[in-house]
Amino acid sequence: MSRVQLIDPAQATGERKRVLDQIQGAFGATPAMFRAVANSTAALKSMWASFGALGGGVIPAKLGEQIAIAVADRNECEYCVAAHTMLGRKAGATSAEMVAAQQGESADPKTAAALRFALKLVNDRAQVNDADVQSLRDVGFDDEQIVEILAHVALNLFTNYMNVAFAVPVDFPPVKMHRQAT
- For 37-52, write each residue's pLDDT tens digit: 999 999 999 999 999 9
3-state class (DSSP) for residue 80: helix
Averaged pLDDT for residues 76-102:
97
- The predicted model scores a pTM of 0.96
One domain, residues 67 and 145: yes
CATH assignment at residue 142: 1.20.1290.10
CB burial readout 126-136, b (16+ within 10 A) else e: eeeeeebeebb
Residues 50 and 16 in one domain: yes
Residues 16 and 49 in one domain: yes
Number of domains in the chain: 2
What are phi and psi for residue 97, nearest 5 degrees?
A: -65, -35
Residue range of the domain that includes 152? 61-165
Runs of H (alpha helix) within the chain: 14-27, 32-37, 41-55, 61-74, 78-90, 95-102, 109-123, 130-138, 143-165
Q: Do 51 and 28 have their domain in common?
A: yes
AA identity, residue 84: H
8 A C-beta contact, residue 7 and residue 16? yes
What single letter denotes the amino acid at residue 20? Answer: L
- Please determine, for residue 180, whether its predicted confidence score (pLDDT) is greater than 70: no
pLDDT value for 178:
80
- Last residue of a domain, which of 20, 36, 55? 55
Instruction: Say if 177 falls within a structural domain.
Output: no
**27 shares its domain with 106:** no
Are 84 and 65 in contact, with CB atoms under 8 Å apart? yes
